[in-house]
Amino acid sequence: MIALVQRVTEASVSVDNRVTGSISRGLLILLGVSKEDSDEDLSWILGKVCGLRVFADVAGLMNLNLASVEGEVLLVSQFTLMGDCKKGNRPSFHLAAEPEVAKKFYEKAILGFKSLGIRVQTGEFAAYMQVRLVNDGPVTISLDSKDRGKKSA
């Protein structure tokens, strides 16, 4: 599971010129689900996102997490994060979960954030969407649940 997390001052997502979700200060999360993902992958992503200390404290240091700043989440399903471009220039999406499976994980992610007390807005699963954002910083973090347990240098 991949989550592309962007710290924003505002973000919105629209389908057919209709806003389906809009937030002010918080995190825009593009979520991609692979065929191999499990509930453990989702739990890891939720924990990492909620624990990310990417908001500035009074000294201007990134020491605060989403809950500390009463931030919001705009969650957008993005199967193209599973695009494999190792061969050729056209992405292959053979690693992406089937839509029914991905939708279940997307819905579990929404419920997971809500259960942690985070206000969540969403896109529309499997729709053609337009996402607008003001990336704050910019701060963009890529999380891949396949990296859990790996130690960094």
Catalytic residues: 80
* SS3 label, residue 22: strand
List of E strands, the chain: 2-15, 18-23, 26-32, 55-56, 62-64, 72-77, 119-122, 130-144
